[in-house]
Amino acid sequence: MKSLMASKHTFLCVLLFLFSLSKGDDKIKHLQGCKRGSKVQGLHEVKQYLAQFGYLNYQVTPDHVNPLQNDEFDEQIEAAVKDFQNFYHLTATGTLDGPTISQMLMPRCGRPDKGISSHNHEKKLLHIVSHYQFFPNSPRWPPGKSHLTYEFASNYPNIYVPPVVSAFNKWASATGYFTFSRVDSVTIADLKISWESGDHGDGIPFPPGTPVVAHAFAPTDGRFHYNANQNWFIGASPNAIDVETVALHEIGHLLGLDHSQFENAIMWSYVPTGAVKGLDSDDIQGIQALYMLYK
């Protein structure tokens, strides 16, 4: 009986997840092919998406209607779309083509991509290009603060604690610098992990239908929020998001890394459903550079 109920619950979660995806498709999928000069109902959704993730910043005056609320494809939208396409290595057409719409529909981290300090270094001897990036002004944990404590808020599901603990252990092992330990109080923890939905008090809500799976803040804030309304799973599962993969990404933010432009890096902002990822050399190079090779 319990097995049957669990199966029904899993099936219902998958249906709900697919329904939320279909609603997202309805919002912007029909916009494929829009370009400068177009005026199509729903285009404001793309504008808001581009603004949310740092590609679009309209200057709004009190006597003008906010351009984010209309459905006109203007010159600034074209430039923002090209910027988005360049960041994700798509052909920079400035048009909402199929690959661009598909990219926007993928689950992703809630932190913006732009407005960050870029550190793209070419190591000519090794023929390796690093794409890691830092937050503005490169905030980091102070010298000597290499051991960080963490705790889960009371709303966090116990079933999803082990994958996050595993993610902390992987960062510790890979860096050889940071260590982490769990404490028994969120109040005293350096890093605070919680399970949130909607407007949860940090000014960055998780609205219904959002592709955002989680977000975390730069040092030394320490907050890490999962979006409770996504379909979560431990490991690879079709139409679900892996808890540990997202934890690895958001812990990178907690340590000071922002989004990488390298798709294999854990700090790539998108998390395809069913995917399981680990730390990449680009992620470790970024931490080493931020903390000056731990010196």
pLDDT single digits (tens) 67-105: 788 999 999 999 999 999 999 999 999 999 999 999 999
The pLDDT tens digits of the residues spanning 183-232 come to: 999 999 999 999 999 999 999 999 999 999 999 999 999 999 999 999 99
Structure confidence at residue 7 as a pLDDT band (50, 70, 90): very low
Q: What is the DSSP string of the chain?
A: -HHHHHHHHHHHHHHHHHHHHHHHHHHHGGGTT--TT-B-TTHHHHHHHHHHTTS------TTS--GGGS-B--HHHHHHHHHHHHHTT----SS--HHHHHHHHS-EESS-SSSSEE--EEETTTTEEE--EE-TT---PPTT--EEEEEE-TTS-GGGHHHHHHHHHHHHHHHSS-EEEE-S-TTT-SEEEEEE-B--SSS--B-TT--EEEEE--TT--EEEEETTS-EESS--TT-EEHHHHHHHHHHHHHTEE--S-TTSTTSSB--TT------HHHHHHHHHHTGGG-
Catalytic residue IDs: 250
Location of each CATH 3.40.390.10 domain in the chain: 117-294
The arithmetic mean of pLDDT across residues 112-116, rounded, is 75
Average pLDDT (34-40) is: 95
Give the lowest-confidence range in 24-28, 173-177, 222-226: 24-28
The pLDDT, as a whole number, for residue 61 is 57
pLDDT tens for 119-154 read: 443 333 333 456 899 999 999 999 999 999 999 999
Question: Quick one: fold of 117-294?
Answer: Collagenase (Catalytic Domain) (3.40.390)
Q: Does the structure show a pLDDT above 50 at 255?
A: yes
> Is 11 a residue whose pLDDT tops 80?
no
Per-residue confidence (pLDDT) for residue 9, from 0 to 100: 36
CATH 1.10.101.10 residue ranges of the chain are: 2-105
Q: What's the mean per-residue pLDDT of the chain?
A: 86
- Architecture of the domain defined by 2-105: Orthogonal Bundle (1.10)
